[in-house]
């Protein structure tokens, strides 16, 4: 562990060097720590305990012991606690915005408008659903009960550090489940504050537990633990396969939200200025670190020169800079490994013959993990940059000669998470969307919706989150006859 730089983070997340198990903040038993790095400055801003399988075991047992009582807690009481969580979360807004900007690099404007706003939206939606949710009803002469599945093991990523936490934890608590959370060791400090919010709101001991640490030690222990009934994982496809393998030993339910290589089909009757500009912005959202980002832009071959011009101009509006400056539209990628990965993909695109419209692999700043926003054109479907998830501000423009070809290129992918269609009418856009093998499709720049199920086809995962579908992942169905 290196010396920590004095910063607001060390004050805002006062329990950062502890685990939260069975309602108590406890020192990590390994005695080892993992540094948290500010990707804008490459400085150490905090540290967390390197968790162990033994700590996961204690947390899982605490969650199991708390389950019987929490699962029988009246809905009104669960609502009261969740409403207190929401109020406590809003009271910590400034702390959370500052911490997330420091730990994952997002500009503070984006941290406030998305990294904070999205989990708040998730919590408020969960409360709305819980107020009217039917846990028991009759259908065709059968009494049907939807009961909490048990203990949820939640393993979350660093790109949307609190939104993914909220998507797993809050529906779990709302439905009567108990939870063991392992946030990403790259961006854990916001989850420490989130845990402080849950504690202050009166979530009973053992109902929620936080075990920090690395994936091989803590994540794998969660995935394979016999007291955990559902493991909900968001991350890479490679890691998701490992989670599934370990979870199969106890035949637990697995929800996976994994990688993506989403296509953005711009049809010939679309508004190209709006479509291309929005497509670049969508690709660069969160510095390109979004699993459903529209990183493949499919355009009519005859309009390619026009698209290149618009895309280059749009990309020029994104300037890399430190997150706390508050004036930049593009922060750094979050990890040093990610920086090298993205730069290598850009070099590979050039090597394989793609046309570099703007950007490149040269460093975008003297310090920090900054990538120059990049646009490639004349990309063919077999190129690496058209097939693999880059997770950085890199757009690939591909061409098509017919609507059928555009759909075929879109579906020729191992992924199927998100998608965009731009068309002259919503009806035409929906007709194309119905042919896309992907879990979500946005027509003409439609906004996200808290009740829209989120999840993927193929190797983008299985199961759904958000809204009502996020509730149902946490429930078992019982039929009572007679």
Segment 330-363, tens digit of pLDDT: 899 999 999 999 999 999 999 999 999 999 999 8
What gap in Å lies between CA 108 and CA 346, rounded to an integer? 27
Based on the structure, what is the number of domains in the chain? 2
**Tokens of residue 150, six digits:** 């048990």
At 140 the pLDDT is: 96
Would you put residue 308 in left (φ > 0), alpha (ψ -120 to 50) or beta?
alpha
Pairing of strands 263-266, 296-300: parallel
Contact 27/49 with Cβ under 8 angstroms? yes
Mean pLDDT of 134-139: 97
Do 213 and 283 lie in a common domain?
A: no
Residue 472 clears pLDDT 50, i.e. is over it: yes
Mean pLDDT of 274-295: 97
At 8 the pLDDT is: 41
At 319 the pLDDT is: 85
CA geometry: angle at 353 spanning 352 and 357, to 5°?
125
Residue 257 is a catalytic residue = yes
Domain ranges, residue 433: 263-450
Indicate the pLDDT class of residue 11, thresholds 50, 70 and 90.
Answer: very low
What gap in Å lies between CA 136 and CA 175, rounded to an integer? 12
What gap in Å lies between CA 279 and CA 375, rounded to an integer? 11
pLDDT in tens, 371-410: 999 999 999 999 999 999 999 999 999 999 999 999 999 9
At 400 the pLDDT is: 98
> What is the percent of the chain with per-residue pLDDT over 70, rounded to a whole number?
96
At 66 the pLDDT is: 98
At 326 the pLDDT is: 53
Mean pLDDT of 244-269: 97
Contact 440/420 with Cβ under 8 angstroms? no
Q: Is the dihedral of CA 407, 409, 414, 416 positive or negative?
A: negative
- Choose, from 108, 196, 220, 257, the residue flagged as catalytic: 257
Where does 250-373 have alpha helices with state H? 272-284, 304-315, 336-351
Mean pLDDT of the chain: 95
Is 89 contained in some domain?
yes
> What is the percent of the chain with per-residue pLDDT over 90, rounded to a whole number?
93
Do 301 and 423 lie in a common domain?
A: yes
Residue 133 clears pLDDT 90, i.e. is over it: yes
- Choose, from 108, 291, 308, 389, the residue flagged as catalytic: 291
**Which CATH number characterizes residue 465's domain?**
3.40.605.10
Residue 433 clears pLDDT 80, i.e. is over it: yes
Is 456 contained in some domain?
no
At 7 the pLDDT is: 44
Tell me if residue 427 falls in helix, strand or coil: helix
Mean pLDDT of 13-37: 94
At 363 the pLDDT is: 86
**Which CATH number characterizes residue 288's domain?**
3.40.309.10
Do 231 and 208 lie in a common domain?
A: yes
At 229 the pLDDT is: 98
CA-atom Rg of the chain in angstroms: 22
Residue 465 is a catalytic residue = no
**Tokens of residue 362, six digits:** 């040269």
At 12 the pLDDT is: 56
């Amino acid at each position: 562990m290196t010396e920590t730089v004095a910063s607001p983070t060390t004050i805002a997340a006062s329990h950062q060097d502890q685990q939260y198990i069975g309602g108590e903040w406890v020192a990590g038993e390994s005695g080892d720590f993992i540094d948290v790095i500010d990707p804008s400055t490459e400085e150490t801003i905090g540290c967390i305990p390197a968790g162990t399988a033994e700590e996961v075991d204690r947390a899982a047992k605490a969650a199991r012991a708390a389950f019987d009582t929490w699962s029988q807690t009246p809905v009104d009481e669960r609502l009261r606690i969740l409403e207190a969580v929401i109020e406590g979360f809003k009271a910590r807004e400034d702390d959370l915005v500052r911490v997330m900007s420091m730990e994952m690099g997002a500009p503070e404007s984006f941290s406030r408008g998305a990294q904070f706003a999205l989990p708040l939206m998730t919590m408020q939606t969960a409360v709305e659903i819980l107020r009217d949710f039917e846990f028991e009803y009759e259908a065709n002469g059968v009494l049907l009960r939807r009961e909490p599945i048990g203990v949820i093991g939640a393993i979350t990523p660093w790109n949307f550090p609190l939104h993914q936490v909220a998507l797993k934890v809050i529906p779990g608590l709302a439905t009567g489940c108990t939870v063991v959370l392992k946030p990403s060791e790259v961006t854990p400090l916001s989850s420490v504050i989130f845990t402080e919010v849950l504690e202050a709101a009166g979530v009973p001991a053992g109902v929620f537990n936080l075990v920090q640490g690395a994936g091989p030690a803590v994540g794998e222990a969660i995935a394979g633990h016999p007291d955990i009934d559902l493991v909900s994982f968001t991350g890479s496809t490679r890691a998701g396969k490992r989670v599934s393998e370990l979870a199969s030993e106890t035949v637990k339910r697995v929800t996976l939200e994994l990688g993506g290589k989403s296509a953005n089909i711009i049809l010939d009757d679309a508004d190209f200025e709006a479509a291309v500009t929005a497509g670049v912005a969508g690709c660069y959202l969160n510095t390109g670190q979004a699993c459903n980002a529209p990183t493949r832009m499919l355009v009519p071959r005859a309009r390619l020169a026009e698209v290149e011009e618009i895309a280059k101009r749009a990309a020029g509006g994104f300037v890399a800079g430190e997150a706390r400056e508050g004036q930049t539209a593009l922060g750094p990628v979050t990890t040093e490994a990610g920086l090298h990965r993205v730069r290598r993909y850009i070099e590979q695109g050039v090597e394989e013959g793609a046309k570099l419209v703007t950007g490149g692999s040269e460093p975008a700043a003297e310090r920090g993990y900054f990538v120059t926003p990049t646009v490639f054109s004349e990309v063919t479907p077999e190129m690496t940059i058209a097939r693999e998830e880059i997770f950085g501000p890199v757009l690939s423009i591909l061409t098509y000669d017919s609507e059928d070809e555009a759909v075929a290129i879109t579906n020729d992918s191992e992924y199927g998470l998100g998608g965009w269609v731009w068309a002259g009418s919503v009806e035409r856009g929906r007709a194309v969307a119905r042919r896309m093998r992907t879990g979500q499709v946005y027509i003409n720049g439609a906004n996200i919706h808290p009740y829209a199920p989120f999840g993927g086809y193929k190797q983008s995962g299985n199961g759904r989150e958000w809204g009502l579908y996020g509730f149902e992942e946490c429930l078992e169905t019982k039929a009572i006859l007679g």
